[in-house]
Amino acid sequence: VDFKRVAVSLSEMTGDMDQSTKVAWSTLLMYAEENERHLTYPEFARLLMNVAAAANMEFDHIADALTVSTTRRKEKRAELSSIFQEDHLTRAVNASNQGDVENEGDGLSDFQYGRLQRLFDLWDLNHDGTLDVAELVLGLRKFQDAKNLATTVEESISAMLAFDTNKDGELDRDEFSAFLGRFATAAHTELDELIDFMVVQSALKDNDEAEKAYVKTLGEKAQAQLMKRGGGSSGSGKKWFGMG
């Protein structure tokens, strides 16, 4: 069992990826006899026996609880993953034309806003405090394997046009929060569950190198157009790359 698998499994039970990563690292240092970033089967079994002893529970009860928790989380991950393959992003963009996007984040709890900032930081690859088109595309691509790249690009530009309220051609933290809030509503899913799923997936999944290079080229072209038009107005992203 490698480091990532331990961290993900713990996060599936606790809902806290940051804390699970710390615990996973401490666990590996304690139980990995060869000082490597993985646990062998005997080491993993010893870990579970110690957990059972510390919790004053039977080993079988601990194992059953872990199995049930992991199975349920897998089902939830599959459910959340499926919403990115549908047209919920388009509905979120369309809904932005019917409400006050600037105040969308006002209803978020401090916890929700904090988790959204964690996701924002994972997508903000150059750490400049905003998301440009390329960063938005690469972030969404981690959830849209079943869609072709052109569709992800189109949806990303449409989202940028709809939620870039100050028309600077990028999404700041508040605009990004509004975007995710509208997306969760359009997908009829709990925002907390959506954020946790996206944080874990974004932290552990890497974009394909060829895809990153291609998106960078497209992103530079789109960014120039967005900046030239002052952010533009909401609508389809097809025309930006001659895809329509």
pLDDT (tens digit per residue) in 30-46: 666 565 667 777 777 77
Separation of alpha carbons 175 and 182, rounded Å = 11
Report pLDDT for 54: 66
Per-residue tokens: 179: 């975007």
Confidence of residue 130 (pLDDT cuts 50, 70, 90): very high
Report pLDDT for 236: 45
Report pLDDT for 231: 47
Taking the CA atoms of 174, 113, 90 and 82 in sequence, report the sign of the dihedral they define: positive
- Three-state DSSP state, 174: helix
Q: At what angle do helices 110-123 and 173-186 cross, to 10 degrees?
A: 110
Report pLDDT for 239: 44
- Whether 215 contacts 149, CB under 8 Å: yes
Q: Give me the residues paired with residue 38 across strands.
A: 2
Report pLDDT for 127: 93
Sorted by where each begins, the domain ranges of the chain are 3-80, 86-241
Is the confidence at residue 175, as pLDDT, over 90? yes
CB atoms under 10 Å from CB of 57, counted, come to: 13
Residue of 7 and 144 predicted with greater confidence: 144
CB atoms under 10 Å from CB of 202, counted, come to: 20
Residue of 115 and 2 predicted with greater confidence: 115
Separation of alpha carbons 20 and 242, rounded Å = 44
Q: Right CATH number for 86-241 from 3.40.50.1820, 1.10.238.10, 3.40.50.2300, 3.40.190.10? A: 1.10.238.10
Separation of alpha carbons 78 and 21, rounded Å = 22
Separation of alpha carbons 194 and 183, rounded Å = 9
pLDDT (tens digit per residue) in 47-82: 777 767 766 777 776 666 666 555 556 677 778 788
Cα torsion 204, 209, 213, 215 to 10°: value is: -40
